[in-house]
Amino acid sequence: MRELYPEIEPYRSERLQVDAIHELHIEECGNPDGLPVLFLHGGPGAGVSPYHRRFFDPARYRIVLFDQRGAGRSTPAAELRENTTWHLVADIEKIRAHLGIERWVVFGGSWGSTLALAYAQTHPAPVLGLVLRGIFLGRDFELRWFNELDGGARYIFPERWARYLAYIPPQEHDNLTEAYWRRLDSDDPQVRLAAALAWSDWEGGSTTLVHDPDGADTREEPQVAINVSRNEAHYFRNRVFLQPDQLLRGVERIRHIPATIVHGRYDIICPVASAIDLAQAWPEAELRIVLAGHSAADPAIVDALVAATDALADRLA
């Protein structure tokens, strides 16, 4: 089993103003003369973490990471104005131009896989290769699977679901995403925070293969919980700003790009059916379904992702 590369610090961190509202945090790690790779974090709204740098051989890759609009160290925090999938796609191109990178590998997991596909289908020419984990295509069944009563995740994690559901009065159970959104968008900061923590307890604690139904969630820090929950509810209630099946229909534009799709068989947040649907539309891509949940930190996911980035470095160097 491959493990993450050793911890590494950025050799450059900077800010990039992308419009009148948003300023993004960007960092670069590894080899400044190496193969460029862009890491796209999940959420939306989760931001980058130090361990995200470690999926790539630092001797061979120039690793670029950034916090998307309203996420992490980008400012304003949890800001949803001018914050859509297509604003983020445009930001990626601005970052590429700003850094003077002609072509790069794109790596994204969960929501990051959605954004990677949207970016590559819009701008295929700069994309040398794709590594995609925990596929989320933004389709209606995926949006409802994890957050609504007619989804399936509640039957697998019933203890956590009971807490998520109990936060919302029964008369609002027909659309839980909207019910949470009303509270996450409240003018009362205490209402916002309580909703964010309830949302995060459901999602943040449901990512790993080994699951403790009463364990602490992974986003207890208040600002992180607010960033993630507000961004996610905003995107989900707007169907992640995609047309039905858009990312599957757009595969024709990227079938020539080397790609690896990695998905946990027991991923409860993003059902494995989405990875299979993507692979059926894209037979040239390598599909690896492994014994894992959703988390990129699950050992089998780490093994498959590091193998994929090593193989791309071998192929493209």
Pairing of strands 23-30, 61-66: antiparallel
Question: Please, what's the b/e burial string for 294-317 (b: 16 or more CB within 10 A of its CB; e: otherwise)?
Answer: bbbebebbbbbbbbbbbebbeeee
Catalytic option among 22, 52, 110, 200: 110
Structural tokens at position 140: 């209606």
Strand partners for 64 = 28, 38
Q: Which of 42, 49, 41, 40 is nearest to 4 (CA)?
A: 49
Tell me the CA distances in angstroms from 171 to 115, 143, 145, 166, 288, one per residue in order: 34, 21, 20, 12, 42
**In whole angstroms, what is the distance from residue 174 CA to residue 129 CA?**
41
Q: Which of 88, 111, 247 is nearest to 80 (CA)?
A: 88
Candidates 267, 274, 295, 303; catalytic one:
267
Is-catalytic flag, 267? Answer: yes
Let me know if 294 is a catalytic residue. Answer: yes
* Annotated catalytic residue, options 22, 25, 41, 294: 294
* Cβ-based neighbours of 97, under 8 Å, separated by 6 or more: none
Cα separation of 186 and 25, whole Å? 27
52 is catalytic: no
- Catalytic center residues: 110, 267, 294
